[in-house]
Structure formats: C-alpha cells, structure tokens
Structure 1
Amino acid sequence: MTLHVLPVTGLPEIDADSDLPALIAKAGSYQDGDILVVTSKIVSKAEGRVLRAADREAAIDAETVRLIARRGPIRIVENRNGLVMAAAGVDASNTAPGTVLLLPEDPDASARALRARLQQLTGVRLAVVVTDTFGRPWRNGLTDVAIGAAGLPALEDHRGRTDSHGNELAMTVTATADELAAAADLVKGKATGTPVAVVRGLGHLVTAEDGEGGRALVRPAADDMFRLGTSEAIRQAVTLRRTIRAFTPEPVDPGAVRRAVAAAVTAPAPHHTTPWRFVLLESAEVRTRLLDAMLAAWQRDLRELDGWDDALIARRTARGDVLRDAPYLVVPCLVMDGSHDYPDARRAAAEREMFTVAIGAAVQNLLVTLAGEGYGTAWVSSTMFCRDTVRAALDLPAGWDPMGAVAVGRPAEPPRDRPARGAEAFIEVR
C-alpha cells in the first residue's frame, strides 16, 4: 500500500463570507477515496466563530463546562463538546489582533456539511477530518488530533483479532482519525498558511455513511482515570466525601483500603510519632462478633446507667445498623507511644488532645482517599463508648484505644444534594 499526504495550497484568507467548500474544491485535485484533513481554524472562520475579545480569559470561561486542572495562568478544561484541552480551544493565533477564535460549535456537524458539499462539487467519494492542536498527558510537544469527522470510522477496534504471534488482542482500539490528523499536519505545518491536506491511499476507510464522527474519540467520564488534575482531584474527593448509610453487597477491594491507610499515615503527628493503628475487619465472622458484643454492651449501659426502656434502646442502637450492613469495617485506634509524661493534669490532657487531633487527621485522609477510590464511608463513634468490649472482641493490646469505626462499601444510591458550604461563616480574621 502506498500512502501520500499532500498539501492543498493557494487558499485565500477565510472569513464568514467565504464559501469554504468551493474554495477547497477549486484549490486541489481530488480522487475517489481521498481523506481531506482540515484545520478547525478555517472552519471556525467560515462559520463566524471569530470573537472580538480584549479579555481571552472571559472567552475561555464562556466555552468551559468544567475545570480539569490549573497551574498558574494555564487551564486545562472540558469544553462544550466534551473535549479536554488547554484554554477550551480559544485561540489568539492566526486571527486578527483584538480577536480570538473559538472552535466550531459542532465539529462533527461541520465535517458532515463540508463533506456533503465537497462530494457534490468534486463528484468523488471523500471523507473529512476536522482537526485542532492538543497537548498530551505525559508527553512534551503538541500534535494535531481529530475533533470532528465524517465518512470514516474515527476508531478501529482490534479487540478479538490476533497479532502475528497468535495472541488475541484484548485492549487495542486505534484512534484512526487522530493518526490521520497528525500525519496531515506534517505537510500543513503551523505557520505556513496551509490549512488543508489530502491523505491518499486509504480509500478502504472511506464509508458511504458519515459515521459517528469525532465524538467517538471522547472517553466517557466513567472510563477516564485521569479526569482531574492533582489539586482538583483532591478538592473533589474532599467534596465527595459524604456519610453513606446504605451500601451495595459488592465486596470491597482490600488493596484500595490499604492504599487509603497508606494515605492516612501521612497525617501530621506530635513528637515525630506514629500514633495510629488501623484494624481491618475483612472477615464477616469477626465483624458480626464485634457488633454483637458492642450491641450487648450498649444495651446494658443504656438500661443500667441511663434507665432507658427496651423501645428507646432499640431506636438508639438501630443507628449502628450502618456498620452491620457494610461489607467492610475499619477500626482506627489511637496509641500514645512516644507521648510525654506530665505530672500535672492540664498538660497531660493537652498531650492527649494533640494525639487525638493526629488520629482525626489520619481518619480524614482515610475517608478522602476511599472517596477517591469510589467507595462510600460512614465514620461512627460507637466503639469509643465501649473500648474494653472492642479490645476484647478483636484481641487488641491494652494501649490501643478504638476511635470509632468506619463502614466502607459502594454506595447503594447517590448522596442527596446539599447546599455548598462556604468558608466565611467559619472564619475570624484578627
């Protein structure tokens, strides 16, 4: 197979009054099965997507639906078409001073319209790819990618095929339209005024139907492991950390819990100590034994110390059902190893408070990390009211103080919306 990538030269400056398909048809000579690769800039100009804007940032704001990552003035965002890119594709290059260029409103629709008219004008079977320039995670440098397509499959699915050694391919899906975009850019360039190229020799890719277009290249949110930048992911995990009281029966991945514990033990602690221990209750038998022992201890105390009747006790202890219904429990424990001995009660109490703050920070790290892993959690304080019972049921050392229990599992339903909580009500400035 011989492949040719040919520039289409001689196109004039494009504006909203230009008949772009006619100009492209006139500028080149096309054969059946050619693939035309067209930079989005001239498509945007022909569609009137030039905006007079002294403030490019305001234009980016208007085109952005979600911030992915920010570092200084640089923003990676998701735009209206689901494309994740720098500055929402708002471009101040190759346009008149004082203006910015927006991406086509619907790049696939633009590709379909351009293809239909070009086939009419040229009388040959064509495909069209509309491109823009992207940066890429983990890689330096920019490359052109497809943001719209018509007349060819944007993706080629190799799954189920075998390689030259007879191995079945299980994951390989080729981004054909992106490969065409990058190849065409080798002859278009960035500053040569050549916005169109022809890829010839791949006529077998050209279809009678327009196809699903470049939209097929946008990874669904549920499959995107790199949907947020680091600081944004942390903020979202903190926001998503909600108390979940109903879980699915799906087992919890012990590796995810261990990763959460690894994050927990990075919390600050006094005197360079490590005052945390995390008891992971992975056995249903152990969970039941602990909860049964705790229930008996609570019932006894509420009856003997508080004088409650059976109905009131039943309502109070029912709050612990969230622990019984969860597929996984974590019991964080405070240890005072490395604490200072003070002879007076005031300083001794402050010493313990320091250690208590440290385990609170560790538990928060645990909860936030589990939220980032897609798990729901509920921190319940009940083990703190019957520590001897918990130590006996779990065979823990005398110096380990249980500090509640954390229920872990996949949420059975999304948490209810709650109003945003700003910081100002909780701040005093001196």
Structure 2
Amino acid sequence: MSRSLSILPVLGMPEIEQGADLGELIVKGLELRSGDVVVVTSKIVSKAEGRLMRADDREAAIDAEAVRVVARRGRTRIVQNRQGLVMAAAGVDASNTAPGTILLLPLDPDGSARRIRARIQELTGHQVGVLITDTFGRPWRNGLTDVAIGAAGVSVVEDHRGRTDSHGNELALTVTATADELAAAADLVKGKATGTPVAVVRGLPEALTEADGAGVSPLIRSLEDDMFRYGTSEAMRAAVTMRRTVREFSTEPVHPQAIRRAVAAAVTAPAPHHTMPWRFVLLETAQARTALLDAMLAAWQRDLRELDGWDEARIARRTARGDVLRNAPYLVVPCLVMAGSHDYPDARRAGAEREMFTVAIGAAVQNLLVTLAGEGYGTAWVSSTMFCRDTVREVLELPAGWDPMGAVAVGRPAAVPQDRPERAADPFITVR
C-alpha cells in the first residue's frame, strides 16, 4: 500500500527559556490532529528544563555526562552518555545557544517526550506521538542526520523478521528504525539555522501507540551485540584488559581461521636483525593434543621421579596443573627459531643474543593472546613444553632448531571472568 506523508513546520516558536511550556507553544504554532508525530529538537527541551550552563569547562561537562569513552582522536571524543547513547562529546553542544554557554542533553529524553505528549493531549484532546531528536554522525558515512533520543507514543522500530518479501523470501534481519526515519524526515523541515525547532509528520498513524511505550531503548544496541563498540586505540586497550589466563573452557570448538588471524598478528612483533624467529604449531585435532600431552606427562613424571626424587602423590599434584591444556579444545605451541642470529664466541654475548630472540617471541605470543581476546577467546600460556623440548619435538615431528616456548590453551571461557581491577603504572616506572 502506498502512502503520502506531510511534514509541517511549527512556526512562530519563541526563544525558549527555562520553565517554558513546550506543549502549549507547539499547539499555538500548528493545529494538530490525532495520529500526528510531533518531532522536537532536543535543544529547546534542554533549555526549557534548565540544562543550559556556562561554558567555563566544556571538557569537564563532557566528562560529567559520559560513562564510557568509545573512541578518541585528539580532542574529539565519541562517548556513551548516561542515557546510553553513543555520540560525539556526550551531546554537549555550543550551537544555537548564546556565546559563552553550552547545552546538555535532557536528563531523561523519554520522560520529556511523555510530558509533552500528555500536555498536548490535555490541551487538544488529540492522541499524538512525540519524538525528541538530536544530531548524530554515523560510522562509515559522512554528514549528520537527526535521530530519536526520546520517544512517547511511537513504535520506534518495526520488526519485519519472519515476514516475506515480494519474491517470497523470508526476512531474517530487517528491523526498521521508524523513529530515526521520522526524525531525519522532520529535520528537512526544521533545518539547523532556520529557528524552526519543531515539525510534525502527518500521514503515519499506524506508527503511534496508545501507551507511551518503552521510549528509545529498543533502538539502542546492547554492548553484547555491538561489534563496533570501540575505536581503534580503545579496542586495543580493551583487548589487553580482556586478556587473562582462563583455566576452564567450554566445549565450543575454536574456529581455525580465528587462530590464523591471531598468528598473522603475532608475526608483526618486533624481532632482532630483521629475522622472523617464530613458528606456531597448531594442534587442531584431539588425537594430536592427546598424543602430545600423554608424552609430556610421561616425561614430567620421569624427571620428577628420577631427577627430583618426588613421591607419586607430589608428582600427581604437580602434573595436575597440565589439566588446563588437556581440557582445552585447541592448543598452540609457539616455537623459537634462532635462524639469523649472530654467532658470538663468548658466552656473555651469545647469552644476550638468545635473550633478544626470546624477548621477540614473548612479544609475538602477547600479540597472539591479545588478538584472541579480541575474538572472544580465553587463553592460558603454560610453560610446560619448555621442560621437555626433546619430547615435544619428537611427538610433533619438529625440526631440531625449533624450541617450544610453552603451550597456549585456547577456547571460549566456561564462565565470564571477573572484572580485573585497574593496575596503576606508577609502581612499575622509574624516571631518570
């Protein structure tokens, strides 16, 4: 069914001051009908609600409004604000306000929309929908557009999933952001510099709801579903923070391509003499993992018994630490190769040369672990292969020059790791 929409400006709105009755001013500016959607720029709502402040410290105002930094480049910040909206500068705005002042977003845009809606119904008897809007930039797209940040009496999304298109194909992903489309359409009439902060969209009564509804919350993607929740540097810091030793894994298999992406990141680590001193052995089958771990267990038991004189109970307690490897669905064995190293005749320089290469593989493994954390995998880097290198090389049929540098268990964590407290840098810094 085709439809025709009208977008009407609400003219004659005065400069808004704190305490202004927006519902009454809107009714005076345009004769409303039931089924209209009234679209109100957030700036006048903020002014009416006393969210105007002196611009002594805009950065401090952004800090106060933000709950999470999403991305930062120079002085520009994309943040999540207290309403859950991800936007530039937490919506703190210096446009369309007197010099030396700034506007903060309404504390509760949904509540603002509900109050305006109730006031319009009180004055006119008409059932309308109300949207509060603000201007957003968008990832991957140049230019700005208005979106809904508050709503009352409007079905903000239309879920098409389960319906069929004109060719009979079932729609599986399509959810239309109706409120944002209405906000953008109304902004073509309101404009940014015309002094017309309110417009009415007429001709879409099916978008209205009798109750105020849930506001704009259905439009806000949860953090769990947001694949783009961080900027570049923030994503790196988050991945480093998420990287932790996981000792219990679920049975969910590990995607081999995720491991290969992590290895590709690992081999970008710095290394001495322009070498590539890393090799990564991927144990993708249960048979390969079991064969290696059984052989390592036998070697450990032999050494602890014959070289250290431990009794069987103590040996059992010590080797039980290897269960984290045995219970993981995937193992990676990083190996150090010294090809390209310099041959020094004295032990001091030869030892330093090996240490340089050892540091390089440590950096590579850190890249591997951080990348896997970004993919949602947990890891545990265990040193046990370093104590039975000959056994590992024999079982995995590795060249003599490959030195196993532990083993990395990989998998989905069986439980959500506890939050890690922030660790200050100062105790680890010496300045000269």
- TM-score (structure 1 length as normaliser): 0.98
User: Partner of 1:175 in structure 2?
Assistant: 177
Do 1:108 and 1:215's aligned partners in 2 also have CA atoms closer than 8 Å?
no
Do 1:246 and 1:322's aligned partners in 2 also have CA atoms closer than 8 Å?
yes
User: Partner of 1:197 in structure 2?
Assistant: 199
User: Partner of 2:293 in structure 1?
Assistant: 291
**d(CA) in 2 for partners of 1:206, 1:65:** 32
User: Partner of 2:28 in structure 1?
Assistant: 26
1:3 matches 2:5: yes
**d(CA) in 2 for partners of 1:181, 1:317:** 63
Q: 1:197 aligns to what SS in structure 2?
A: strand
2:148 alignment partner, one of 146, 149, 154: 146
Give unpaired runs (5+ residues) of structure 1.
none
Pairing of 1:261-340 with structure 2 (within 5 A): 261-340=263-342
> Which amino acid is the alignment partner of residue 176 of structure 1?
T
> Which amino acid is the alignment partner of residue 199 of structure 2?
A
**d(CA) in 2 for partners of 1:207, 1:234:** 43
| CA deviation profile, 1:238-296 (whole Å, cap 9, x unmatched) | 11111111111111111111111110011111122111111111111111111111010
**d(CA) in 1 for partners of 2:122, 2:416:** 51
Q: 2:24 aligns to what SS in structure 1?
A: helix
> Which amino acid is the alignment partner of residue 73 of structure 2?
R
Q: 1:30 aligns to what SS in structure 2?
A: coil
Do 2:338 and 2:401's aligned partners in 1 also have CA atoms closer than 8 Å?
yes
Do 2:336 and 2:358's aligned partners in 1 also have CA atoms closer than 8 Å?
yes
Q: Which moved more, 1:84-93 or 1:52-61?
A: 52-61
1:394 matches 2:396: yes
> Which amino acid is the alignment partner of residue 235 of structure 2?
A
1:409, CA displacement in angstroms?
1.0
Instruction: State the identity as a percent.
Output: 78
Q: 1:75 aligns to what SS in structure 2?
A: strand
**d(CA) in 1 for partners of 2:164, 2:85:** 32
1:418, CA displacement in angstroms?
4.2
2:48 alignment partner, one of 33, 46, 49: 46
> Which amino acid is the alignment partner of residue 66 of structure 1?
R
Q: 2:69 aligns to what SS in structure 1?
A: strand
> Which amino acid is the alignment partner of residue 298 of structure 2?
A
Q: 1:296 aligns to what SS in structure 2?
A: helix
**d(CA) in 2 for partners of 1:400, 1:169:** 52
Pairing of 1:176-255 with structure 2 (within 5 A): 176-255=178-257
Do 1:263 and 1:365's aligned partners in 2 also have CA atoms closer than 8 Å?
yes
User: Partner of 1:118 in structure 2?
Assistant: 120
**d(CA) in 1 for partners of 2:116, 2:392:** 71
User: Partner of 1:55 in structure 2?
Assistant: 57
| CA deviation profile, 1:330-360 (whole Å, cap 9, x unmatched) | 1001111222222332222222111111111
1:36, CA displacement in angstroms?
0.6
1:100, CA displacement in angstroms?
1.6
**d(CA) in 2 for partners of 1:180, 1:263:** 44
Do 1:38 and 1:130's aligned partners in 2 also have CA atoms closer than 8 Å?
yes
For the aligned residue pairs, the C-alpha RMSD in angstroms reads 1.2
Q: 1:60 aligns to what SS in structure 2?
A: helix
User: Partner of 1:385 in structure 2?
Assistant: 387
> Which amino acid is the alignment partner of residue 216 of structure 1?
P
**d(CA) in 1 for partners of 2:203, 2:274:** 67
**d(CA) in 2 for partners of 1:249, 1:299:** 28
**d(CA) in 1 for partners of 2:179, 2:138:** 16
1:64, CA displacement in angstroms?
0.5
Pairing of 1:83-98 with structure 2 (within 5 A): 83-98=85-100
1:3, CA displacement in angstroms?
1.0
> Which amino acid is the alignment partner of residue 426 of structure 2?
E
> Which amino acid is the alignment partner of residue 120 of structure 1?
E
1:373 alignment partner, one of 375, 384, 388: 375
2:73 alignment partner, one of 71, 74, 78: 71
1:425, CA displacement in angstroms?
1.5
- TM-score (structure 2 length as normaliser): 0.97
> Which amino acid is the alignment partner of residue 77 of structure 1?
V
Do 2:241 and 2:420's aligned partners in 1 also have CA atoms closer than 8 Å?
no
1:417, CA displacement in angstroms?
4.1
**d(CA) in 1 for partners of 2:203, 2:265:** 53
**d(CA) in 1 for partners of 2:365, 2:101:** 51
> Which amino acid is the alignment partner of residue 87 of structure 1?
A
Residue correspondences, number: 430
1:105 matches 2:107: yes
**d(CA) in 1 for partners of 2:238, 2:207:** 42
> Which amino acid is the alignment partner of residue 61 of structure 1?
D
